[in-house]
Chain A
Amino acid sequence: MSESLKLLLADARFPSGSPAHSGGMEAACAVGLVTDVDTLRSFLYGRLWTAGVIGAVAAAAVCARCPNSASPTALFRAVEAELDARIPSPAARQASREQGHHILRLAVTISSDPLLDALARATVGNRQRPHYPTSVGVVAAVAGCTPADAAEAAAYASVAGPAFAAQTLLSVRPEVISELGVEMAPEVSRLAHEASQTSMRSLAQMPAFGAPALEYLAEEHVAQIPRSFAS
């Protein structure tokens, strides 16, 4: 049950809005940082171990804690603040919040779980949309998935979107992207497993690996016209 839900959550056709985001890939191709399969691979590993780790650990932390939390609203606000502090780029924060909003909106139409209401109150009440990892963590918890599942969905999403965007942007054959996916899959799973192991540690101690080039690209992307992706 939980395996299929995880697949659904990570599916590119799941209407989370994620296929619209390239996670900096469009700008990376435009400025010449990513030009071939080697630079693409290095870019994706860099993204996985920075933004991917932050998202995976936050999603696992939310999933592990919210079912037993005395105040889910306080938990969500604390996680959102930790994510804001780890995503210095306003454009990247907005991209994360747009995707989080899509997932939460979709989940609310399927389930009436009070945790979903609590997340909506913690963020919408604050005139904000929830960050992507927070939404994934809550939806995973509501669906009965494990923290490792939530981490895996978030880690996978951190590289799958940019990888599929690169297929169009670099005009490479789909097999090349799938081959890269197969190569990176064990790393994504290992990362998700490690993230779930640390999910009950203090939120302040969550990883905070910065990626200045990704942040530069997120801002560059907003200034770039025309563009085919939302981030």
Chain B
Amino acid sequence: MTGTSTALATVRFRAGIGGEPIVADMSASAAHSFQPARWGATIVNSTAHPVAGDHLGLNVTVGVGCCAEIRSAAPTLARRGSRRPPWSGPSSSTFEVTATVASDAMLTWHPEPGVAADACQHRSDANVELASSARLLWQDEFLLERRNESAPGTWSSRLRVVRDGWPVVCTELAVGPGSPLWESPAVLEGARVVTLVVVVDPGQVPDQWCSARANEGSATGVALPLAGPGVQIVAWGDELSGCRATVDTMIEACGVPEWAAGRWRAARDVGAVV
């Protein structure tokens, strides 16, 4: 199971009574399958992926008026791959997510964290397209595995959210020695863990978003009202729990609407401890 692969899994939701998500269509890949639930679907990820050379993809569509959540069964562990000697060519793995959210629909994306292990070079790239009335809660957490026996990996993550054809968020963050900027005091100060949360809600009064800063334990965080109707929250530090506590504090302070704050708390509490 350590062979590399190119694989795409898709899921499409349509609205049932009261916006309840109904899986209209889904297909699994070698690396991912979906397990439908009352609130949306759980991604079941294969523990064999991603390894270097893997190019994995997920495609999510949320139909008009539908309110769907995506969770994952386990953290994503990116590795270089045990059968792969360091001199055997390109050693990166990629994971591309595309999500389309239709009018009056809502997507909550909160998978378990990504873990960079075993000198991996992993790149995750998410593109989200929102209709002008769509709402979004996007959570992206990634961290370096804390083990001394192997060289640490590098995890980089890019998120682009487009609403009604116009970009709302476009950002790229990376942890690990493969990123030349990671240790700079202007960037991430060499933090082991990053938690990124983006909320877009066009129904919110623009003045209600406000900026906030917080420190919990070793973690530092900042909540930033976007030029569009939303907020970007980033926390970075040495512990996942510290980053999540920092996000908790900022979510209270930066005007995030209750639907998003409640979902963030629910997801955080069921989350695995890495």
Q: Which residues of chain B come closer than 8 Å to A89, judged between CB atoms?
A: 211, 222, 224
Taking a contact as CB atoms closer than 8 A, the residue among B168, B171, B181, B236 that contacts A49 in the complex is: B181
Check A86–B222 contact: CB distance below 8 A. no
Most chain A CB inside 10 Å of its own CB: which residue of B221, B222, B228, B234: B222
B166 to A: closest C-beta gap in Å: 5
Q: How far is the CA of A88 from the CA of B170 in the complex (A)?
A: 9
Q: Which residues of chain B come closer than 8 Å to A216, judged between CB atoms?
A: 213, 220-222
Q: Which residues of chain A come closer than 8 Å to B213, judged between CB atoms?
A: 216, 219-220, 223
Taking a contact as CB atoms closer than 8 A, the residue among B167, B172, B232, B234 that contacts A204 in the complex is: B167
A212 to B: closest C-beta gap in Å: 4
- Is B226 in the interface zone, CB < 8 Å from A? yes
Taking a contact as CB atoms closer than 8 A, the residue among B167, B171, B186, B236 that contacts A47 in the complex is: B186
Q: Which residues of chain A come closer than 8 Å to B173, judged between CB atoms?
A: 209-210, 212
Q: Which residues of chain A come closer than 8 Å to B226, judged between CB atoms?
A: 84-85, 88
Q: How far is the CA of A204 from the CA of B158 in the complex (A)?
A: 12
Q: Which residues of chain A come closer than 8 Å to B184, judged between CB atoms?
A: 42-43, 45-47, 211, 213
- Is A12 in the interface zone, CB < 8 Å from B? no
Q: Which residues of chain A come closer than 8 Å to B168, judged between CB atoms?
A: 85
- Is B252 in the interface zone, CB < 8 Å from A? no
- Is B152 in the interface zone, CB < 8 Å from A? no
- Is A214 in the interface zone, CB < 8 Å from B? yes
* Contacting residues of chain A (6-62) with chain B, CB-CB under 8 angstroms: 24, 28, 33-34, 39, 42-47, 49-50
Q: Which residues of chain B come closer than 8 Å to A28, judged between CB atoms?
A: 185-186
Q: How many residues of A contact B (CB 8 A)?
A: 38
Provide the B177-201 mask, 1 if CB < 8 A to any CB of A, else 0: 0001101111111000010000000
Check B211–A219 contact: CB distance below 8 A. yes
Check A81–B167 contact: CB distance below 8 A. yes
| Given A82-B170, A88-B232, A46 and B181 contact (CB-CB distance below 8 Å) | yes
* Contacting residues of chain B (190-242) with chain A, CB-CB under 8 angstroms: 194, 211, 213, 220-222, 224-228, 232, 234, 236
B74 to A: closest C-beta gap in Å: 27
- Is B263 in the interface zone, CB < 8 Å from A? no
Q: How far is the CA of A45 from the CA of B167 in the complex (A)?
A: 27
Most chain A CB inside 10 Å of its own CB: which residue of B168, B170, B180, B221: B170
Nearest-CB residue, chain A, relative to B211: A219
* Contacting residues of chain B (112-169) with chain A, CB-CB under 8 angstroms: 158, 160-161, 166-169
A42 to B: closest C-beta gap in Å: 5
| Given A42-B185, A90-B224, A212-B236, A204 and B211 contact (CB-CB distance below 8 Å) | no
B273 to A: closest C-beta gap in Å: 23
Q: How far is the CA of A190 from the CA of B151 in the complex (A)?
A: 30
Q: How many residues of B contact A (CB 8 A)?
A: 34
Check A208–B160 contact: CB distance below 8 A. yes
Q: Which residues of chain A come closer than 8 Å to B221, judged between CB atoms?
A: 216
Check B187–A214 contact: CB distance below 8 A. yes
A34 to B: closest C-beta gap in Å: 6
Q: How far is the CA of A219 from the CA of B211 in the complex (A)?
A: 7
Q: Which residues of chain B come closer than 8 Å to A212, judged between CB atoms?
A: 173, 187-188, 194, 220, 222, 234, 236
Check A85–B185 contact: CB distance below 8 A. no
Q: Which residues of chain B come closer than 8 Å to A42, judged between CB atoms?
A: 183-186
Taking a contact as CB atoms closer than 8 A, the residue among A24, A91, A93, A223 that contacts B186 in the complex is: A24
A56 to B: closest C-beta gap in Å: 15
Q: Which residues of chain B come closer than 8 Å to A223, judged between CB atoms?
A: 213
Q: Which residues of chain A come closer than 8 Å to B167, judged between CB atoms?
A: 81-82, 84-85, 204
| Given A49-B180, A219-B211, A213 and B185 contact (CB-CB distance below 8 Å) | yes
Q: How far is the CA of A55 from the CA of B158 in the complex (A)?
A: 18
* Contacting residues of chain B (62-115) with chain A, CB-CB under 8 angstroms: none
8 A-B pairs closest in CB distance: A46-B184, A46-B186, A84-B227, A85-B167, A88-B224, A216-B222, A33-B185, A85-B170
**A-binding residues in B (CB < 8 A):** 158, 160-161, 166-173, 180-181, 183-189, 194, 211, 213, 220-222, 224-228, 232, 234, 236
Enumerate 7 A-B pairs (CB-CB under 8 Å) in ascending A order.
A42-B183, A81-B227, A85-B160, A85-B170, A204-B160, A210-B187, A223-B213
